[in-house]
Structures are given as structure tokens and as C-alpha cells.
């Protein structure tokens, strides 16, 4: 962990020497980390997409042979075996935990109490946002991936119907974990969520293009 801490501290300092703003430096550091994690994230998305595709096939088989239990078992056994092989469901989330912990330590051990040009009302990025603007922004951004799931243009499979309850729970949870957190971590969460959103949009557009090309062959 000390190696990661020293590495992040050095990278953050180097970025600050270039930008002159700790808030902007944290955003750039977060983007750098997310770029490094892209291969793992894409692998996770691909597996989740395959899971959804296989689950959809199983549902189609059950509907097609709804009066023939034996045929359903015969047709679905290979798909159920494929579903059981899934191992990457929360991989990126687990990888981010030590990164988040290290970033927290880097921020809290910064020798200065400074704000950032990005949030002009903030006196120090080591404190929480007393106006609660950062938690609210994060709460709104965190529900965006669920919203694009229900936009026809970005649908790649039969998506689960949008749940208002899930949206509310997600937004409230996001606000709660940032409401008393240092603003620096709020910047990390917001940047990560935005990166994830654009990554999801890009991946869905790729899947749609790939599926269209496959159907034309």
C-alpha cells in the first residue's frame, strides 16, 4: 500500500506542478487511474453483456417450451453452465477500493489547506462541502447510467424496466457517502462517475455497431 501511496503522491505532485490547482490535479489523476482500469472495465462489461444475452436466451426457451419441462432443461443446461462461469461482476469496484483508500490518505496528508478554481465557494478540498453542492452533483450523475439503459438509442438487449425506487436509492446512497467526505474525494467520485458514464455509452455504441455488422454478414 505504501508503494501505491508514494506513487500517487508523486504523480499528484507532478500534475499540480503543471496545473497549479489541486482540484484539477485530482481530476487528472482520477482520469489517469480510470484509463489504466479500462481493460478490466471492458472485460467486466463484456461478461455482463454476455450474461444478459444468455439470460435472455433462457427466457426465450422457457417461453417457447413452456409446456415441456423436459425440453426446457435440455435446451437451457448449456446456457446455465455458461452463466455459472461468471467471475468478474464486481472486479473494477474491488480494484478501486485500495485506490480510493490511498487517495484519501494522499489528500488528508497534503501539507496545505487550499481550495480549487473548479469550486470557488470552497475554502479547502480537505473539508466537506458545507453547501452540499458536490454531493448533489454526484447523486445526479450516479443515476445517469440507469437512465441511458432506458433510452432506445442505447439499448443493446431487452433492458430491465427503469425503476424509480432504484434511482432514488442510488442517488440517496451517493449523497450519503459524499455529504461529509472531503471535497477531494467528491471530485474523485464525480470524475469516476462521468468517466464510467461515457465509457458505458461508448461500449453500447460499439456493441450496437458490432451486432449490426454481424447481422449483415
Which domain, by its residues, includes 94? 2-216
Q: Which three cell numbers stand for residue 134?
A: 458536490
**Residue labelled with grid coordinates 468478474:** 88
So what's the pLDDT on residue 200?
87
SS3 116: strand
Q: What is the pLDDT of residue 135?
A: 96
pTM of structure = 0.82
Task: Per residue of the chain (217 residues), give pLDDT as tens.
Answer: 677 778 888 888 899 899 999 999 999 999 998 898 888 888 878 777 777 777 777 888 888 777 778 777 777 777 776 666 655 555 566 766 777 777 777 777 776 678 899 999 988 998 899 999 999 999 999 998 888 877 777 776 665 566 788 888 999 999 999 999 999 989 999 999 999 999 988 888 888 777 666 655 5
- Rounded CA-CA distance 109/9 in Å is 10
Answer left, alpha or beta for residue 132, where phi above 0 means left and psi between -120 and 50 means alpha.
left
Query: What sign does the CA torsion over 33, 39, 43, 49 have?
Result: positive
Question: Residue 110 has what pLDDT?
Answer: 72
What pLDDT, on the 0 to 100 scale, is given for residue 195?
A: 93
- The total domain count for the chain is 1
Alpha helix positions (H), the chain: 2-19, 22-64, 69-84, 91-108, 133-142, 144-148, 164-178, 183-216
pLDDT computed for residue 18 by the predictor: 93
Amino acid at each position: 500500500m505504501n508503494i501505491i501511496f508514494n506513487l500517487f503522491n508523486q504523480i499528484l505532485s507532478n500534475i499540480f506542478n503543471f496545473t497549479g490547482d489541486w482540484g484539477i490535479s485530482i481530476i487528472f489523476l482520477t482520469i489517469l487511474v480510470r484509463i489504466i482500469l479500462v481493460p478490466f472495465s471492458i472485460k467486466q462489461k463484456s461478461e455482463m453483456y454476455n450474461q444478459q444475452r444468455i439470460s435472455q436466451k433462457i427466457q426465450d426457451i422457457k417461453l417457447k417450451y413452456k409446456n415441456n419441462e423436459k425440453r426446457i432443461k435440455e435446451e437451457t443446461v448449456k446456457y446455465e453452465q455458461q452463466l455459472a462461469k461468471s467471475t468478474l461482476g464486481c472486479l473494477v469496484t474491488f480494484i478501486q477500493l485500495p485506490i480510493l483508500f490511498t487517495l484519501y490518505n494522499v489528500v488528508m496528508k497534503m501539507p496545505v489547506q487550499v481550495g480549487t478554481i473548479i469550486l470557488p465557494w470552497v475554502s479547502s478540498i480537505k473539508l466537506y462541502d458545507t453547501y452540499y453542492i458536490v454531493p448533489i452533483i454526484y447523486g445526479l450523475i450516479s443515476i445517469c447510467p440507469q437512465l441511458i439503459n432506458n433510452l432506445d438509442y442505447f439499448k443493446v438487449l431487452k433492458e430491465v424496466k427503469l425503476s424509480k425506487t432504484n434511482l432514488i436509492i442510488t442517488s440517496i446512497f451517493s449523497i450519503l457517502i459524499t455529504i461529509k467526505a472531503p471535497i477531494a474525494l467528491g471530485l474523485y467520485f464525480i470524475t469516476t462517475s462521468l468517466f464510467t458514464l461515457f465509457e458505458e455509452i461508448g461500449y453500447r455504441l460499439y456493441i450496437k455497431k458490432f451486432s449490426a455488422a454481424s447481422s449483415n454478414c
